[in-house]
Each structure stands twice: as structure tokens, then as C-alpha cells.
């Protein structure tokens, strides 16, 4: 008996998880519909060396390698040379009521056979003619016409297509109605078709919450479609924590929902979320009526646009201070950086070490700039599109001089290879970014330069003393707290 229960548990479909869906050319309209409905993440992959094309912007090498593993597993070892037509779907989050994805077997079992469709059409035809029959002779005439009508019905009979199952107006979309209500087109008269999922989902009313949480940063938006028009509140607002705890984040969103309801005079009704993690957070930390139903696509798009507007404002006037520290007679360079926001958001800090045999401290200063720039672009990929502005501060004139010469293709054989290589990496990462480099006097009381110097010295000494990772992380966190307090006071 226990073995039977375990087998049933294994056969039960998980409520949440990831589903990888492949769509080839014959199902292209289905893939387009999924893309339009934002059902899943577009999930391409191709070998960079063989295809001669770099991976998409914003995808790290580690993420790309993980994606290669997913493709190999999904394709069962076949050659993943076709980069498109693949989506990653988060079960339990986007459109959990999509029958053609989650209930494919039930849908296929409910489809009528060819004979059933012909019989249905003949019955409908006979019923439509019954009102005009007033004598036995007319009954016999109708019976004599039935073979000819059956022949015409069989000739006009068409296969049931994906569009038929989905419904008119949403080619390739999927149904949001129960499988028990499945009906398909019959030759005569046209049968009632499914309500398209796009229509059914978009007609839902309530408040939609989207949360974009990254390390050290959190942005969110609350959107509602009301009789007076759409309304959106985004955050965090001025003075609110930009890296809030779960409790603080839940409080921010609860206040935003209340403001939105009071401003438009609406009831909250139900609260939609963009993903399962957000729904679980709001259920645990708030009393909001969170639902598992998928949010309306227009509301999701409006909330994400509001978050994008917050992001565009956030990346305006960024300042990145970088510094390096090198021990005497050693090849290890400590690298530190501090990313400060013009709106007073919590700064981002980092401490790393690199090695340089030939470049000395100049190579370390350039490595600090590269590390800080790459971390900034990972946090804010929109910078690569020319949005916002970034100012990079360093106290090394030698590093800036070499960077300018490498940019102008003016490096000389006397320049060490470590430093030149770092310059080329920096210039490659900075493509498309509205960036400028500035020199500041070191150890002269400049707040950001002082913090970057502390982080660089900390990274180098911790490596030289073989400090464990936990202790190192606590020490970096202490510097982050000092940076937060120092910049707020300024």
C-alpha cells in the first residue's frame, strides 16, 4: 500500500516548476501566441563558436552554459542549432488555466470523431427543416435528400486545427474554459467555439503587482484598470528602502494598493501577481486577497513599463568609484568599487582580487574599473542601450592615460600586456554606454574614493591572510553599511 501511494505521488503533476516547450515551424503561430501572451520566457540557445554569433546582451557566460545544459536535456542530445521556438514556462505562475498545455490529453480525448461530426451536422440539418414539414410527403422528400446532404457535408468537412480549438481572434492561443465544455466547429451551422485565452484573461479585473528584485535593488509596480482609466503606482518612493526586507517590501506594496484604491475609489477585489514567488510573499506578509489566476496581459505590460521608467530614472547620474591596492613584492591586486545613485538609493559595493605579473598597480587600477563596470552593467543592462549616464572615478592618472591611448589604438610595445588587456576589456564592456572617466585625487577625503580604497585594501589583506569567505562577506557588509550611512549624511 505505501508503494502504491508513492507511485501516485510521482504521477501527480507538480503545481509549480519549470516547463520547457519546443515549437517548430509547423507550430509557429502557437509560439507567436505564447510570446504575445507573455506565457513564458523566450529561451534561445546556440553555440557561440560554431554559430559565429555572441549570446544575447545581458546573459552571462554562466547563465549561457546553464542554458546549453537545458537545451541538451530537452532535446535529448540532439544538435541545438535552431535558436528560436523555445519557451521556458513557470507552472503555477503564467496562465495556469491553459488547457492545451496543462490538459492536452483531456482535450484530445474530448475531440469528436469524423463520424460524430457528420452525424451532428445531419441532426442539426434535420431539426432546422422540421418546422417546414407539414405532411408525410414532405417527410419522404426530406429523407430522399439526406444522402445528397451527407455527401456535401463530407466534402466540406475540414480537419480540426489549433485555431479552431483556440477560437477566433487569437490565432494559436489556448483555451481558458474547462475541457468538459469543449466543442469544435461543425459543418452546419457553425458551432460555438472556445473563448480565446487572451480575451478571457484580459477581462479579469483586480490589482496587478509586479516585483523586480535583484541583489541590493528592488523595484515594483501596482496597476489597476478602472472605469476612470488605468492607474499605476511604482516604487520604492523617495525615502523608502531600496533594498527592503520581505516585511518592508510587503508594507510598501500594501500601502501602494491602498493608495491606488483610495485614489480611484475602487475595491481591491483580487490581487494578481507576475510570478509565484511574489504571490507567496504577499500571502505570507500581507492580508491582500492574492489569487493564483494569471494577471491580465495589459496590466502586466503597464506595470512592467512603470518599473522600466523607475529603472531609467535610477540609472541617470550614476557614479562608480574604483580603486586598487597592491602589496610590496607581490602579484596580488585588491580591487574595490562603490556604485552610488543620484536619488540616494543604497549603494552597491564590491571587493575582489586579481593577479598581475607585469602590470603592477596600474593593471590593478584598470582591473578595479573593469570589475566595477561589469557589475554595474549586470545590475542595469539598460545602460548598454544608451539610457542613463555613468561617471567612473579613479585616482590613477596612469590608468586613464593608457585607457585613452588604447581607445585611440595608440598602445606601444613598452606598455605591459596585462594593463593593455584590461583596457580592451573595459572598452568592450563600455560599448553603447553613456560613460565618462574622471580622475580624483586619492587619499584626499573624497568619500567614494575612500570607500573604494577601503574595499581594495580589505580584499588584498583578506586574501594574503587566507580569511574565510564568511568572515570576508561580513567585513564587506560592514563597509556597505558605512557607505550607506555616509552617503545618506552627505
First to last CA, the chain: 69
Q: Are residues 80 and 122 in the same domain?
A: no
Q: What is the average pLDDT across 36-49?
A: 65
pLDDT at 470 over 50: yes
Q: What is the CATH number of the domain that holds 253?
A: 3.30.420
As a whole number, the mean pLDDT across the chain is 76
Measured CA to CA, the distance from residue 490 to residue 475 in angstroms comes to 23
Three-state DSSP string of 389-431: CEEEEECCHHHHHHHHHHHCCCCCCCCCHHHHHHHHHHHHHCC
pTM confidence score: 0.57
Q: What is the average pLDDT across 51-65?
A: 78
Residue 485: per-residue pLDDT:
87
Q: Are residues 77 and 211 in the same domain?
A: no
Q: Are residues 300 and 359 in the same domain?
A: no
Contact (Cβ atoms closer than 8 angstroms) between residue 396 and residue 361: yes
Residue 112: per-residue pLDDT:
67
pLDDT at 88 over 60: no
Residue 198: per-residue pLDDT:
64
Look at 249 and 344; give whichever has higher pLDDT.
249
The answer to whether residue 3 sits within a structural domain is no
Residue 26: per-residue pLDDT:
39
The answer to whether residue 170 sits within a structural domain is yes
Give the pLDDT band of residue 8 (cuts 50, 70, 90): very low
Q: Which of 27-36, 139-148, 195-204, 288-297 has the highest mean pLDDT?
A: 288-297
Look at 7 and 77; give whichever has higher pLDDT.
77
| Maximal C-alpha separation, the chain | 115
Given 201, 217, 232, the domain boundary residue is 201
> Based on the structure, what is the number of domains in the chain?
4
Look at 474 and 242; give whichever has higher pLDDT.
474
CA nearest neighbour of 250 among 279, 215, 291: 279
Whole-angstrom Cα Rg for the chain: 31
Q: What is the average pLDDT across 97-125?
A: 61
* DSSP H/E element including 278: helix 276-285
Given 92, 127, 154, the domain boundary residue is 92
Q: Are residues 25 and 77 in the same domain?
A: yes
pLDDT at 454 over 90: yes
- pLDDT tens digits, residue range 166-186? 443 333 333 333 434 444 444
Residue 269: per-residue pLDDT:
81
The answer to whether residue 142 sits within a structural domain is yes
Structural domain that includes position 347: 318-489
The answer to whether residue 100 sits within a structural domain is no
Q: Are residues 34 and 86 in the same domain?
A: yes
Three cell numbers, residue 121? 451536422
Q: Are residues 291 and 430 in the same domain?
A: no
Buried b / exposed e over 246-267, threshold 16 CB at 10 Å, is eeebbbbbbebbeebbeeeebe
Amino acid at each position: 500500500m505505501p508503494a502504491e501511494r508513492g507511485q501516485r505521488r510521482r504521477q501527480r503533476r507538480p503545481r509549480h516548476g519549470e516547463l520547457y516547450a519546443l515549437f517548430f515551424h509547423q507550430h509557429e503561430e502557437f509560439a507567436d501566441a505564447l510570446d504575445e501572451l507573455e506565457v513564458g520566457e523566450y529561451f534561445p540557445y546556440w553555440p557561440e563558436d560554431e554559430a559565429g554569433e555572441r549570446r544575447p546582451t545581458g546573459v552571462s557566460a554562466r547563465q549561457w552554459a546553464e542554458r546549453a545544459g537545458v537545451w541538451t536535456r530537452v532535446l535529448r542530445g540532439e544538435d541545438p542549432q535552431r535558436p528560436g521556438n523555445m519557451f521556458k514556462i513557470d507552472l503555477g505562475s503564467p496562465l495556469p488555466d491553459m488547457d492545451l498545455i496543462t490538459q492536452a490529453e483531456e482535450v484530445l480525448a474530448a475531440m469528436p470523431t469524423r463520424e460524430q461530426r457528420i452525424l451532428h451536422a445531419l441532426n442539426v440539418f434535420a431539426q432546422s427543416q422540421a418546422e417546414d414539414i407539414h405532411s408525410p410527403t414532405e417527410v419522404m422528400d426530406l429523407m430522399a435528400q439526406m444522402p445528397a446532404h451527407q455527401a456535401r457535408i463530407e466534402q466540406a468537412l475540414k480537419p480540426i486545427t489549433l485555431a479552431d480549438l483556440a477560437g477566433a481572434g487569437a490565432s494559436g492561443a489556448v483555451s481558458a474554459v474547462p475541457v468538459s465544455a469543449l466543442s469544435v466547429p461543425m459543418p452546419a451551422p457553425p458551432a460555438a467555439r472556445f473563448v480565446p485565452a487572451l480575451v478571457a484573461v484580459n477581462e479579469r479585473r483586480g490589482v496587478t503587482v509586479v516585483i523586480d528584485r535583484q541583489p541590493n535593488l528592488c523595484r515594483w509596480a501596482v496597476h489597476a484598470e478602472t472605469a476612470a482609466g488605468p492607474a499605476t503606482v511604482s516604487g520604492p518612493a523617495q525615502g523608502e528602502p531600496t533594498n527592503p526586507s520581505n516585511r518592508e517590501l510587503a508594507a510598501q506594496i500594501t500601502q501602494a494598493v491602498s493608495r491606488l484604491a483610495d485614489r480611484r475609489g475602487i475595491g481591491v477585489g483580487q490581487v494578481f501577481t507576475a510570478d509565484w514567488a511574489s504571490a507567496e510573499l504577499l500571502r505570507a506578509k500581507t492580508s491582500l486577497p492574492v489569487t493564483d489566476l494569471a494577471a491580465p496581459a495589459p496590466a502586466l505590460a503597464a506595470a512592467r513599463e512603470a518599473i522600466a521608467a523607475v529603472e531609467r530614472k535610477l540609472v541617470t547620474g550614476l557614479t562608480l568609484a574604483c580603486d586598487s591596492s597592491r602589496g610590496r613584492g607581490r602579484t596580488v591586486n585588491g580591487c574595490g568599487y562603490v556604485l552610488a545613485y543620484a536619488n540616494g538609493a543604497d549603494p552597491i559595493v564590491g571587493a575582489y582580487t586579481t593577479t598581475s605579473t607585469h602590470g603592477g598597480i596600474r593593471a590593478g587600477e584598470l582591473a578595479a574599473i573593469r570589475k566595477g563596470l561589469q557589475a554595474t552593467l549586470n545590475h542595469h543592462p539598460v545602460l548598454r542601450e544608451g539610457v542613463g549616464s555613468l561617471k567612473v572615478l579613479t585616482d590613477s592618472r596612469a590608468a586613464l592615460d593608457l585607457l585613452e591611448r588604447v581607445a585611440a589604438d595608440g598602445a606601444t610595445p613598452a606598455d605591459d600586456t596585462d594593463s593593455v588587456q584590461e583596457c580592451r576589456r573595459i572598452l568592450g564592456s563600455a560599448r553603447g554606454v553613456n560613460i565618462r572617466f574622471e580622475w580624483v585625487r586619492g587619499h584626499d577625503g573624497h568619500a567614494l574614493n575612500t570607500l573604494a580604497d577601503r574595499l581594495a585594501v580589505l580584499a588584498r589583506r583578506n586574501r594574503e591572510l587566507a580569511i574565510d569567505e564568511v568572515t570576508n562577506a561580513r567585513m564587506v557588509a560592514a563597509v556597505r553599511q558605512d557607505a550607506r550611512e555616509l552617503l545618506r549624511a552627505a
